[in-house]
Chain A
């Protein structure tokens, strides 16, 4: 236990985010969401409640959706993380991103990254959901703008896009090839 005037011990954390290896030195209590956003400047992941309810901070940990506000950065060591930035770019959007854009699946866009990561993982396991299943799949994330109608549509449209493009997964970036690009 450290007192108020004793600096916290720091820990070196190396994680792989979107196929890129990053190393940073952080206190044990640094939330993974803060680590991604403020230490790595990957601000696509948003923080809506900091208590694991809203889902805005959802990222993929080894492909599975997780709330990054409920993990510490040190817990992410040796895991492969994927954030919304890793699912496509403006010029080459991933299927879920493209579907959201086509279906007006977002308004303010703050909760959107958490939906996109969640749906991406969902479609990996359920590539052809019904509307009912699509609604169920997004029922762990809060959105205050859309009333979810067009997010349900986006899930179905993303499934179509994936099927027509026969995309099993978003393009993977070679981790080693880009390892050197990590900020200090």
Chain B
């Protein structure tokens, strides 16, 4: 019997190539392509008065220079609003090249193409742009004050305002025996994949066909957007994601200006053109996330049950809203985590600022929501003198209450309805893992040695695997090779391995025979993309369904050949055989030969399918009614709603009594994404998420000055964690299946980073004995907080 591949920590099929230098990332392609570079705005907010390119025209190797006024038709029109929403009343999107106004430092103003990047940057340096500088709006306080406006079309700088309410919060709040108000802040960070964005376009003039490679999370999205912008039939555009060096959300936005302009110039010039984003460009012209101000009012009884939860959020959406208001919608819904407040209201304002636009970054609004909720839980525990885990536990939705409908609308426009989960069991595992009940003694012991330690906790629920759909296509070659395609893309999640595991099980073939292609519109034209921890759920199930179709077809064909009923057949190790009589069998490759009646023999195997090879029934057509030639299958998976994964983290931190240095001593994760296809890969996803969370909690922030300059736009100054900053991560798993999909699985990609800021804030608060209300937190900030809390006057005020 073949070992079931699902659930095994199988080594990744993609690794031998990647570890030996065989990866093909965007900039590894097109060595003879012309290079694009951009003149970008040095100002956060300014009117463009004049652009003078004369000085650049004599640069050796220059091919062309374009400004907004050179862009024809739709290329010169605003970029699309990808996700409209009724509450997004003042949507504004940017242009490929800014027409008359720039709204953040880094916005593209002039495009240069030259024989190589060196020459292109030489020319960029000689383009003169005159600006009339306008007052910039930087930071949420300034956006909210609206003394100056980012866009005249957005009064009050408000892009969107949305209220969702379940129950009557005002009545429940008034009746609650205890009430607390928390003012919270969380700063910006960014995805910062090791490979930035990049686009490479080849225009085939003979065929009038565009082939486009982009370091993107959605090739079908880019293809459709570029075809629309360039007025090309969809059939004349292919888009392929090569190896992609990390995404984490930023590469789901599309089309980026460069994704339109690079193919446009390639067609115009009749020559390949490539643009590879450099690190500074990535900082100032891609996207950031996280920045929010939050105000929470909570009413609760004397046992800590939340009776009323009233949340107000101010979300910084940056200069434009191409991705709609997905992030604050997720914050406002996923804030609830594993809890069931008696009543809930969330009101948010999504505000424009003259900064880089804000679009989903791993976690996509959840880290902020969980931070707000978990700070609240700790505050309730502190107010009542109760154990923090106990307060959480008392507010949990219980397994017997599943499915649990919160009565809210989620980011996919569908009900926020949890499908499964066992929160008490998760908490029990976490407490055991971290040694929750023994911590008080440890803390006391540490204190006696002059050390400060604290224990923190954070719980979250994550809606994963949102629709609308993904597809799977499988074709088995006469060699027995199984080709699998799905349209969504890969940025390191190991899809070539996990999807092969699914197919190997469903079809009964050796995993070595299964070859998976993702993100290539030539192979699968219908797809949505990789985001929202959806790839395994969406494409995994679609591929499983497609495999079942292929299997059924293989059994039909083999049954006829072997003169048995399909029900009597099984496929094991790539052989179709009679159950109980494995001697009666045929290889899947042979079935593939038989599935495709031929006139011409192209190889030895094909001879068996040619018209004089015998075995034809002259009364039947070679391809039976209702069948198609080929051992091939395609299916789609389209769920009615998201499936909800969950997890709980705990950390022990130590803060230096003198320097306020913060060190994570232990970091523990309990994670439940349902049955794991490949536990090794899930574990890796959790590790990576936690590391990004640690960055967001302790090191990473986007430091804008008052004029809108991003002061830390390099890896020298934006402090992404090295190995020295990431603690050893201890993990445990629950596998609560989802009732919603054939494989019973849930997504895992974003999980790790979601609660980390909440957990670290909780732990520092526990160590220091005063509330932490702003994250990330540096040693300097902690030291300053200590000063405020040791001064009697300051200690009376509400800390912020």
Q: Are A and B co-members of a single complex?
A: yes
Q: Which residues of A contact B (CB under 8 A)?
A: 4-8, 27, 29-30, 37-38, 41-51, 53-54, 56, 83-85, 87-90, 93, 97-98, 100-102, 104, 106-113, 116, 135-136, 138-152
Pick from B21-29, B227-235, B314-322, B523-531 the stretch touching chain A: B21-29
Query: Nearest chain B CB to A149's CB is how many angstroms away?
Result: 4
- B-side contacts of A140, CB under 8 Å: 722
Pick from B146-154, B689-697, B779-787 the stretch touching chain A: B689-697
- Whether A147 touches B688, Cβ cut-off 8 Å, given contacts A102-B11, A110-B245, A111-B194, is yes
Closest to B16 in A: A90
Q: Verify B20–A44 contact, CB threshold 8 A.
A: yes
Which residue, of A113, A144, A151, has the highest number of chain B Cβ atoms within 10 A? Answer: A144
B405 sits at the interface (CB 8 A): no
- B-side contacts of A8, CB under 8 Å: 60
Pick from B79-87, B431-439, B568-576, B679-687 the stretch touching chain A: B679-687
Q: Verify B60–A7 contact, CB threshold 8 A.
A: yes
Q: Verify B16–A146 contact, CB threshold 8 A.
A: no
B236 sits at the interface (CB 8 A): no
Q: Verify A85–B21 contact, CB threshold 8 A.
A: yes
Q: Verify B245–A109 contact, CB threshold 8 A.
A: yes
Q: Verify B59–A48 contact, CB threshold 8 A.
A: no
B554 sits at the interface (CB 8 A): no
Q: B688 contacts which of A30, A54, A145 (Cβ < 8 Å)?
A: A145
Q: Verify B691–A148 contact, CB threshold 8 A.
A: yes
Q: Verify A49–B246 contact, CB threshold 8 A.
A: no
B624 sits at the interface (CB 8 A): no
| 8 A-B pairs with least C-beta separation | A44-B21, A110-B245, A108-B492, A147-B691, A109-B18, A107-B492, A147-B687, A5-B58
Within 232-254 of B, Cβ neighbours of A (below 8 Å) are at 243-246, 248
B714 sits at the interface (CB 8 A): yes
Q: Verify B279–A4 contact, CB threshold 8 A.
A: no
Q: Which residues of B contact A (CB under 8 A)?
A: 11-12, 14-25, 27-28, 31, 55-56, 58-60, 116, 118, 122, 126, 191-195, 243-246, 248, 278-279, 491-494, 680-681, 683-685, 687-692, 714-716, 720, 722-724, 726, 728-729, 752
CA–CA, A139 to B723, complex, Å?
5
Closest to B716 in A: A53
Q: Verify A101–B16 contact, CB threshold 8 A.
A: yes
Q: B194 contacts which of A102, A110, A147 (Cβ < 8 Å)?
A: A110
- A-side contacts of B687, CB under 8 Å: 146-150
Beyond A5-B58, A44-B20, 20 additional contacts (C-beta under 8 Å) are: A5-B60, A7-B60, A48-B194, A48-B195, A48-B715, A49-B714, A49-B715, A51-B714, A104-B12, A107-B246, A107-B493, A107-B685, A108-B246, A109-B243, A110-B195, A113-B21, A142-B715, A142-B722, A144-B691, A147-B692
Query: Nearest chain A CB to B665's CB is how many angstroms away?
Result: 14
- B-side contacts of A138, CB under 8 Å: 722-723
Q: Verify B15–A144 contact, CB threshold 8 A.
A: no
- Whether A149 touches B724, Cβ cut-off 8 Å, given contacts A104-B681, A110-B23, is no
Query: Nearest chain B CB to A94's CB is how many angstroms away?
Result: 8
Q: B726 contacts which of A41, A89, A111, A147 (Cβ < 8 Å)?
A: A147
Query: Nearest chain A CB to B33's CB is how many angstroms away?
Result: 10
Q: Verify B19–A37 contact, CB threshold 8 A.
A: no
- Whether A5 touches B59, Cβ cut-off 8 Å, given contacts A53-B716, A108-B491, A147-B752, is yes
Query: Nearest chain B CB to A38's CB is how many angstroms away?
Result: 5
CA–CA, A138 to B243, complex, Å?
24
Closest to A113 in B: B21
- Whether A110 touches B246, Cβ cut-off 8 Å, given contacts A38-B31, A139-B724, is yes
Closest to B752 in A: A147
- A-side contacts of B689, CB under 8 Å: 147
Q: B55 contacts which of A4, A83, A143 (Cβ < 8 Å)?
A: A4
- A-side contacts of B493, CB under 8 Å: 107
Closest to B56 in A: A4
Q: Verify A144–B31 contact, CB threshold 8 A.
A: no
Q: Verify A47–B19 contact, CB threshold 8 A.
A: no
Query: Nearest chain A CB to B32's CB is how many angstroms away?
Result: 9
CA–CA, A5 to B7, complex, Å?
62
Q: List 13 A-B contacts (CB under 8 A).
A: A4-B126, A38-B116, A46-B25, A48-B245, A48-B715, A53-B715, A97-B19, A101-B12, A109-B15, A109-B19, A147-B690, A147-B752, A149-B687
Q: Could you tell me the dominant secondary structure of chain A's interface residues?
A: loop
- A-side contacts of B193, CB under 8 Å: 108, 110, 144
CA–CA, A139 to B683, complex, Å?
21
Q: B122 contacts which of A4, A116, A152 (Cβ < 8 Å)?
A: A4
- B-side contacts of A136, CB under 8 Å: 723-724
Q: Verify A53–B714 contact, CB threshold 8 A.
A: yes
CA–CA, A129 to B335, complex, Å?
44
- B-side contacts of A144, CB under 8 Å: 191-194, 246, 248, 688, 691-692, 720
CA–CA, A5 to B60, complex, Å?
6
Q: A135 contacts which of B16, B491, B724 (Cβ < 8 Å)?
A: B724
Query: Nearest chain A CB to B309's CB is how many angstroms away?
Result: 32
CA–CA, A170 to B536, complex, Å?
38
Q: B31 contacts which of A41, A90, A149 (Cβ < 8 Å)?
A: A41
- A-side contacts of B18, CB under 8 Å: 106, 109, 112
- A-side contacts of B245, CB under 8 Å: 46, 48, 108-111
CA–CA, A149 to B731, complex, Å?
12
Q: Verify A84–B688 contact, CB threshold 8 A.
A: no
CA–CA, A106 to B12, complex, Å?
10
- B-side contacts of A148, CB under 8 Å: 687, 691, 722-723, 726
Q: B494 contacts which of A107, A113, A142 (Cβ < 8 Å)?
A: A107
Which residue, of B122, B492, B722, has the highest number of chain A Cβ atoms within 10 A? Answer: B722
- Whether A56 touches B194, Cβ cut-off 8 Å, given contacts A109-B23, A142-B715, is yes
- B-side contacts of A88, CB under 8 Å: 19-20
- Whether A44 touches B23, Cβ cut-off 8 Å, given contacts A109-B245, A110-B246, is yes
CA–CA, A44 to B25, complex, Å?
9
CA–CA, A141 to B23, complex, Å?
19
Q: B20 contacts which of A54, A89, A143 (Cβ < 8 Å)?
A: A89
Q: Verify B688–A93 contact, CB threshold 8 A.
A: no
- A-side contacts of B680, CB under 8 Å: 104
- A-side contacts of B726, CB under 8 Å: 147-149
CA–CA, A139 to B118, complex, Å?
31
Closest to A138 in B: B723
CA–CA, A5 to B722, complex, Å?
43
Closest to B715 in A: A53
Closest to A108 in B: B492
Q: Verify A106–B681 contact, CB threshold 8 A.
A: no
Closest to A88 in B: B20
CA–CA, A143 to B723, complex, Å?
8
Q: Verify B21–A135 contact, CB threshold 8 A.
A: no
Q: A46 contacts which of B14, B59, B195, B492 (Cβ < 8 Å)?
A: B195
CA–CA, A38 to B30, complex, Å?
9
- B-side contacts of A108, CB under 8 Å: 193-195, 243-246, 491-492
CA–CA, A44 to B497, complex, Å?
22
- A-side contacts of B720, CB under 8 Å: 142, 144
Query: Nearest chain A CB to B29's CB is how many angstroms away?
Result: 9
Q: Verify A90–B22 contact, CB threshold 8 A.
A: yes
Q: A6 contacts which of B24, B27, B60, B722 (Cβ < 8 Å)?
A: B60
Query: Nearest chain A CB to B478's CB is how many angstroms away?
Result: 26
CA–CA, A88 to B28, complex, Å?
19
Closest to B30 in A: A38
CA–CA, A37 to B752, complex, Å?
34
- A-side contacts of B126, CB under 8 Å: 4
Q: Verify B118–A29 contact, CB threshold 8 A.
A: yes
Query: Nearest chain B CB to A134's CB is how many angstroms away?
Result: 9
CA–CA, A82 to B759, complex, Å?
43
- A-side contacts of B492, CB under 8 Å: 106-109, 145
Query: Nearest chain B CB to A39's CB is how many angstroms away?
Result: 9
CA–CA, A144 to B11, complex, Å?
20
Query: Nearest chain A CB to B168's CB is how many angstroms away?
Result: 44
- A-side contacts of B729, CB under 8 Å: 147, 149
CA–CA, A96 to B19, complex, Å?
9
- A-side contacts of B55, CB under 8 Å: 4
